[in-house]
Amino acid sequence: MQTVFSIAVDALAYGMVLFVISIGLSVTMGLMRVVNLAHGAFAMIAGYLASYAARDLGLGYAAGILIAVVGTVIIAIPLERFLYRRLYGATELTQVLMTIGITFCVIGIANFIFGPTLKTIPLPPALQGSVDLGFRSIAAHRVFAIVCGLVVALALWFLIERTAFGIRLRAAVDNAAMAAALGVRTEVVYAVSFAVAIGLAALGGVVGAELLPVEPYYALRYMVTFLVVVSVGGAGSIPGALLACLVLGAIDTTGRYLAPEYGEFFFYLAVIVIVTLFPRGLLGRSKQ
C-alpha cells in the first residue's frame, strides 16, 4: 500500500513538472493553431538566462526566474513580428519546417555561446533537500513544481475563461474575420498570446530544470514529449493538459516501476489507445 502511495506521489510530481513545461505549447497549438516545435528552444533559452543570472551573477533563484521569463519574451518579440506572424493560418507542414529551422538555429547558437555542457540553476536553500511526507520523502523542488503547476493552471484558466482578453482571444481563434469585424485587433491579441505562451515556456524551462537539465540539445530532446502531452490533453484545453499530464505521469511512473525495461512500450501504447479513443484529446475543444 505504501508503495502505491509512493508511486502516486512520484506520478503527481512528474506529471506536474510535465504540465508546467508543456502548457505554453498547448496555448500556441490549441489557441493560436501553430505547431511550434521551437517551444523547447524557448524553454532552453530561459534556462540559460536563469542559469546565468542565478549562478554566474549570483542574483538568486527568484530573480533568475524573473529575468528568464522577461528576457525570453523580449527575445521572442522580434521572432513573433518577423517569423511567426507568417505562420498564422499556414499549413502544419510549413509551420513544422519553419519552427524546426528556428530550433536548429537556437541549438547552434546556444552551443556556440554557452558550450555543450549541462548548466544548472542553483536552488535557494528552501528548495534544496527533501520534504518528509511521513511514509517517504520527496524533493522540495518537486513540491515547488507542483505548486507552480497549480498556480499556472488556475491563472491561465482565469485569463482565458474569465477575462475580456480571454473572450477576445477565443473570438479571434474561432473566427478571425468575424472578430476583426467586431473590433478585436487580432494582431495584438495574437502577439500577446504568443508572449504569454513563451513566458510559460520560459517558466517551465526554469522550474523543470532539475528534471530536464539545460543543455544545447534540450530544444530537440524533449520535443516529442511536449507534443504528446499537448495532443493527449487536447490542444488549447488547460484542464485537458492538466489531466493528460497526470494520466501520462501515472502511466509512465507506474510502468517504470513495474517493468522499467518495457517503459517505452507502456507509454506509447497508452498514447495510441488514448489518441484513438479521444482523437481531439482528453478534453479537446470540439471545434477543429
The residue count for binding other proteins (CB under 8 A) is: 83
Taken as a whole, the chain contains a residue count of 288
Nearer to other proteins, 12 or 168 (CB): 12
Instruction: Kindly tell me which of 72 and 103 has the beta carbon lying closer to other proteins.
Output: 103
Binders of other proteins in range 16-55 (CB under 8 A):
17, 29, 35
Site stretch for other proteins (CB under 8 A), options 7-15, 63-71, 159-167, 191-199: 7-15
**63 neighbors 54 (Cβ within 8 angstroms):** yes
For residue 14, give every residue at least 6 positions away whose Cβ sits within 8 Å of its Cβ, in sequence order, or none.
Answer: 211, 249, 252, 253
Residues 228-247 that bind other proteins (CB under 8 A): 228, 230-232, 235
Using DSSP bridges, classify how beta strands 137-139 and 130-132 pair: parallel, antiparallel or unpaired.
antiparallel
State the Cα torsion 94-100-105-107 to the nearest 10°. 170
Min CB(74)–other proteins separation in Å: 20
Q: Which of residues 74-113 bind other proteins (CB under 8 A)?
A: 83, 86-87, 90, 92-94, 96-98, 100-109, 111-112
DSSP summary character for residue 131 = E
C-alpha cell at 267: 507509454
Q: How far is the CB of 76 from other proteins (least distance, A)?
A: 15
**Cβ closest to other proteins, residue 168 vs residue 201:** 201
Shortest distance in whole angstroms from residue 186 CB to other proteins: 21
Q: Could you tell me the three cell numbers for 171? A: 473570438
Site for other proteins in 138-157 (CB under 8 A): 138-139, 142
**Sign of the dihedral defined by the CA atoms of residues 87, 91, 92, 95, in that order:** negative
| Choices 151-159, 191-199, 239-247, 278-286 (CB under 8 A): range interacting with other proteins | 278-286
What the block records as the C-alpha cell of 180 is 476583426
